[in-house]
Structure 1
């Protein structure tokens, strides 16, 4: 076999290897961008959005490309190449000349409400929220400024995240924009620079009340997150922020907020927008307050148990003395009491040193 016939085969193998390597790199880049998505994102839509009422509903968001094709609705973006992703992303962001595989979301609730007030669709508007940790694995979240690593031809909008695929399930919730009317009115008038004056405290109290009413409409899954975003739409003094965090911490928080080490994705890329950064910081403060309160409650409970156990020990000792329990039986009773005391002391020491971690105190 001649060298001339071997050379083309070798080139084909090299090209195939390079294609495989780039496909692996592309998958890693997509997953890396998606991992940097904030936990909570927002979207405004109406029955007129996209020209078809079936695209958006309180049940799900269906990108145009998946409206009539259920089989493709669960496909992964990873099977696409760089050129295809760039073509679809730019088609969605620029012109809408191709059936889109994406829906648009933002990290900024204030910006979204501004769009809602100034947009062309005046009726049937909804404000939707998603918890990106609860999305289907096919729902890759791509922040447009970071998509330059996929292709430098992709346009970027710092307020825009693209979510691939059909968005639905318990991690999605939408309510009518009209429900925001009372909160928006109070929010404009509120003064969060200080709380030393009665009129400021009254205004802040009304703001918290309106935010609470609105957040409840999103259900327990989103209530604390919505409150945090609503109450950080404007800057506040440190004292006011602490007071607001303590108020939000009284809500029933998502279980993983208190259980996981980084439930809010502290490395999330929200751009340089202060309102998004404030909301993320507020949720972190809420978690710290809630964990602190649980630790105090646990210490008080442990102290109460210790006092109760000590009283029981004394009663048992008195009964043993009265019944003249002798020898080995009395020793066994004392040993059991000592072991119980040691277990309570160890538990109290653990709480003092580590903090309240109920899943570890078994």
Structure 2
């Protein structure tokens, strides 16, 4: 009995036969015959030039060798098919190495993972997704109004697995993560027992892409989802595909796509049905995202083409008000980013520095004056991440980032104090006319940080005492 890879030189010889010992063992010849170099690569780390040529998964299948060369007459060899044994679950895969996550990676891989984690600082805070019950192969429990759960985190009946998947990609062998990401992005789904069973979900910064993709799924229970990565579960991480490619975990840039590892649920998630947005007239207000519009938004567009396809528009107070009602369907925590994403779907008039005019900025600020955003979001935990957010070729995303940045400056930057002073003086005059404490008391309140104005959202409101 010959077991490939175990006893290469052993053979089971018939009675009275003379032992035949060639220069190269017979077992080795059989191994070379049934496992040629081309086939052996199938169990090595894959490194295709592009996902476009990855049509058949090179892993997760059993291999049964066949004998094409006759054996010597005096020798009878019985072979047992070689079987690639895979971990039964992602959890057991994690136990295949040492208990330490670092032991699963060599120094080069650890360096790449460290660099990848650094890039997460420049991920947009808010990302979007369109999906339906048929997404992800139509399995139960993946895409719901309560959360988005990758394949490895739910059982076949759609029930959440308390110990499903891994806590982090750092707990998964590097090449397994690579195969998992490539398989996920190319749409290949392995069997549930395969260790590369997907632990990712796909998201985008381009709201136009999401709305356009979701439109055709309105009648199928389609969902439009938004996440706030600052409020995701502790172990859920977001990665941009070009950064994953540079780290060796992805085989193509997929610059429109972000992969989220782990469940997306809780206060950092909200989903609304596509049909609800259709019924509220979203696609009438923003026709550029309809499937039959000037272009599909599945990839980057040069600025020149963007300008030739769409005329620049100023903000309309009426349209912003209508879109605000639609954004409110996502709840108070998401109304601001969703509204900002909606109003920047159209090409807007910008000055020579690429900024929105004061009139448009004020129109938007007025529309969100009641939305409370903690003041620290204007500083280190900004609603806009540091410089480096990927916007090249995506002018809608560039407009969204620009609008939120200007809104932060408008509320916390230069000119805020002057606007507050004017409003404080106006309010003081009104209070004085009512015989209530005037400007001096208000000045003390402002210094104590207890005042807010209609423009400075995120600052604690002035306590209002009912006057009998």
User: What is the TM-score of this pair, normalised by structure 2?
Assistant: 0.56
Change (3 A) 1:158 1:301: closer
Q: Could you tell me which residue of structure 2 aligns to residue 282 of structure 1?
A: 403
Q: Could you tell me which residue of structure 2 aligns to residue 38 of structure 1?
A: 124
1:66-87 CA distance string (max 9 Å, x none)? 1134213461111223211110
Q: 2:198 aligns with which of 88, 100, 113?
A: 100
Change (3 A) 1:192 1:242: farther
CA contact (8 A) 1:179 1:214 kept: no
Q: Could you tell me which residue of structure 2 aligns to residue 27 of structure 1?
A: 113
CA contact (8 A) 1:107 1:270 kept: no
Output aligned runs, 1:208-357, within 5 Å: 208-238=320-350, 239=357, 241-255=360-374, 256-258=376-378, 260=380, 262-272=382-392, 273-291=394-412, 295-296=417-418, 298-300=420-422
Change (3 A) 1:268 1:221: farther
Secondary structure of 1:44's match?
strand
Q: Please identify which structure carries the higher helix content.
A: 1
CA contact (8 A) 1:249 1:290 kept: no
Cα RMSD over matched residues?
A: 3.7
Change (3 A) 1:43 1:194: closer
The one of the two structures with greater contact order (alpha-carbon pairs below 8 A, sep at least 6) is: 1
Cα deviation for residue 117 of structure 1 reads 2.7
Task: Give the Cα–Cα distance (whole angstroms) in 1 for the partners of residues 121 and 243 of structure 2.
Answer: 11
Q: Could you tell me which residue of structure 1 aligns to residue 143 of structure 2?
A: 56
Task: Give the Cα–Cα distance (whole angstroms) in 2 for the partners of residues 194 and 104 of structure 1.
Answer: 31
Task: Give the Cα–Cα distance (whole angstroms) in 2 for the partners of residues 113 and 18 of structure 1.
Answer: 40
1:30-60 CA distance string (max 9 Å, x none)? 3123222110100011122221231111111
Task: Give the Cα–Cα distance (whole angstroms) in 2 for the partners of residues 62 and 19 of structure 1.
Answer: 26
1:314-339 CA distance string (max 9 Å, x none)? xxxxxxxxxxxxxxxxxxxxxxxxxx
Matched, 1:66 2:66: no
Q: Which runs of 5+ in 2 are unaligned?
A: 1-101, 156-160, 191-196, 289-309, 351-356, 430-439, 461-468
Cα deviation for residue 294 of structure 1 reads 5.4
Matched, 1:167 2:264: yes
Task: Give the Cα–Cα distance (whole angstroms) in 2 for the partners of residues 96 and 26 of structure 1.
Answer: 25
Secondary structure of 1:42's match?
strand
CA contact (8 A) 2:121 2:386 kept: no
Secondary structure of 1:227's match?
helix
CA contact (8 A) 1:102 1:164 kept: yes
Q: Could you tell me which residue of structure 2 aligns to residue 183 of structure 1?
A: 282
Q: Which runs of 5+ in 1 are unaligned?
A: 1-15, 196-200, 308-339
CA contact (8 A) 2:313 2:346 kept: no
Cα deviation for residue 269 of structure 1 reads 2.7
CA contact (8 A) 1:106 1:159 kept: yes
Matched, 1:115 2:206: no
Task: Give the Cα–Cα distance (whole angstroms) in 2 for the partners of residues 53 and 259 of structure 1.
Answer: 41
User: What is the TM-score of this pair, normalised by structure 1?
Assistant: 0.71
CA contact (8 A) 2:154 2:164 kept: no
Change (3 A) 1:108 1:304: closer
Task: Give the Cα–Cα distance (whole angstroms) in 2 for the partners of residues 266 and 305 of structure 1.
Answer: 36
Change (3 A) 1:253 1:155: same
Cα deviation for residue 233 of structure 1 reads 0.2
Aligned residue pairs, count: 299
Change (3 A) 1:153 1:266: closer
Cα deviation for residue 175 of structure 1 reads 0.3
CA contact (8 A) 1:193 1:237 kept: yes
Cα deviation for residue 268 of structure 1 reads 4.5
Change (3 A) 1:86 1:127: same
CA contact (8 A) 1:77 1:138 kept: no
Q: Could you tell me which residue of structure 1 aligns to residue 178 of structure 2?
A: 86
Change (3 A) 1:157 1:18: closer
CA contact (8 A) 1:104 1:160 kept: yes
Task: Give the Cα–Cα distance (whole angstroms) in 2 for the partners of residues 67 and 149 of structure 1.
Answer: 30
